[in-house]
Amino acid sequence: MMIAGSQRWMWVPHRRAIGGQVQTDSPDTQTGVCANGTVNCKVRVYRTGNMYLRANLNPATISEQAFAKVVVKPLTLIARPTPEAVGSTLDQVKVYLRTAPAERAFASISISVSAQPTALRRSGLMAITSGTASCDASNAECLVSGSAPALLTVTAVTVTGVTLTTSVEVGQLPCPTGDPLLDNQAIRSGMDSLWKTGGTFGVDSARRERTGLLIDSAGSLVMRYLPLNAGSSPCTTRAATHELNDFRPPRFLPGTMKVVATFHTHPFEKDSITPNNCNALSGLKVGTGPSPGDWHTSVYQALDLNRFYGSEYGVNLLSPDYRHVVIEQNRIWLMKEPATWNRTKDVNGRTIYVPGKGATVGAVQAWDRTTPTTSQFCVARNTAIKPTFNP
């Protein structure tokens, strides 16, 4: 049957009770007419409701009506300060914004900065001063100034006219580094706990490499420890992004959950000899820093998997600033994608990808943990030490 007459539609948003009265959100009921002869009719709506449609069919005397319920998930504003904790000032703190479940462009962004009370401020020894923010709506980011700790109240207006508000805190650390991944006390404590779960002070053969994930869940950073897997040994473990860990949708929800970093531990100190249950790696002297296998499984394969889901499903599982972290007893290594890759063979003869010649220089950083290495540890950049594997 062909459409002869004009289609008419009516959108009726669901009603809700506010203060004992039933009200509707704006926009309320909408009506419209589609062009004669068209099959598809489109209307932009912002909340759940019913779409009623009437069409005249050939012969023109026949009129049909139908309706469908359309569920619209509420749009949420997500703001993530980077870094999340600083020393005494907010200078150089950037706030990155996005919306979920769907990405929306912004027409304007503003941030109100309120200094949070501390012991010194309560006693009157330090003044409470407000801060400022300079925002770039086209790039969905703001640069903040003022004193820490502070509460940031963020208001953003999308290009479609929807106003969204959220608030985030920037904490205070005794020894900030300027690195957003390290300047968070919860993350530092999580790395310390993950390293200790590997049995690093027990019998050599009973130690295990452990893995974890740092997830951006709608703006909140969540540390997740992965359980031991069948392939774990004192010298190897399955990567956190391995397919057997269900590192794929819908377990990691597009738009609301992204992996900021993955972690794994090295339970032996430099120059130790690996135990005899390390298979092909048994009886070898332990080095420092990421191994060739670490580069392949936790950086190359993770990024490759992310590109696959991006091309196939339009889903980014990894944060744009994704990094992998190797945790040793006295040192932390931060890894990111190198400028070039080189194909080689591992100890088992399998093809793996490692940084190209000279490419590790800009792709890995060493940070020394302070002594004692507790959950409150500080870190200091070590530019003198080089990883054992350094092509």
CB atoms within 10 A of CB 280: 12
d(CA 215, CA 235): 25
How far CA 298 is from CA of 9, 75, 239, 282, 290, in Å, comes to: 52, 33, 6, 22, 10
What is the average pLDDT across 96-117? 86
Enter the tokens of residue 186. Answer: 């919860």
The most confident of the ranges 139-148, 160-169, 232-241, 354-363 is 354-363
Q: Residue 23 and residue 244: Cα distance in Å, rounded?
A: 48
pLDDT for res 125: 40
* Range scoring the smallest mean pLDDT among 258-272, 277-291, 300-314: 300-314
What mean pLDDT, rounded, does the chain reach? 80
What are the structure tokens assigned to 320, written together?
């744009």
Identify the band that residue 117 occupies on the pLDDT scale cut at 50, 70 and 90: low
Residue 2: pLDDT band with limits 50, 70, 90: very low
pLDDT in tens, 62-88: 666 777 777 777 788 989 888 887 877
Q: What is the pLDDT of residues 199-246, one digit of tens each?
A: 777 789 999 999 998 888 777 788 888 888 777 889 998 888 887 766
pLDDT of residue 166: 93
More confident residue, 248 or 185: 185
Strands 30-33 and 8-13, sheet pairing: antiparallel
What pLDDT score does 24 carry? 46
pLDDT band of residue 250 (cuts 50, 70, 90) is low
Is residue 84 a contact partner of residue 50, using CB atoms and an 8 Å limit?
A: no
Neighbouring residues of 157: CB distance < 8 A, sequence distance ≥ 6:
106, 107, 108, 109, 163, 164
Is 264 strand, coil or helix? Answer: strand
